Structure 1
Amino acid sequence: MTGEFKGKAAIVTGGASGIGAAIARELAASGASVLVADLDGEAAEALAAQLRESGAKAEGFAVDVADASQVEAMVAKAAQAFGGLHLAVNNAGIGGPAEAIADLSLDGWRKVIDVNLNGVFYGMKYQIAAMLASGGGSIVNMSSILGSVGFASASAYVATKHALLGLSRTAALEYSQAGIRVNAVGPAFIDTPLLSKNLDQGALDGLAGQHPVGRLGRPEEVSALTCFLLSDRASFITGSYHLVDGGYTSR
Structure 2
Amino acid sequence: MSADNFYRKKTNYKKKKNSKKNFFHRVIYYIRYKHLPIYKYRINVLCYTYERTQMEEVQSPEAPSHFAPAPKRKINKRFIYATAAVLVVILLFGGYRFLNSNTTNKDINNDISTTPQQEQVITDTPIPTEEQSPTPTEKPTPTDTPTPKPTSNPVDKTTGLDRSKLSVTVQNGSGQAGVAGTGSNFLKQLGYNVVSTGNADNFDYTNVSVSIKNSESEYLDLLKKDLGTGYTVASTSSNLESGFSSDALVIIGK
The reply to whether TM is greater than 0.5 is no
RCO comparison, higher one (Cα < 8 Å, 6+): 1
By percentage of residues, which structure has more helix? Answer: 1
Whose Rg is larger? 2
TM-score bracket, normalised by the shorter chain, equals under 0.3
TM-score, normalisation: structure 1: 0.19
By percentage of residues, which structure has more strand? Answer: 1
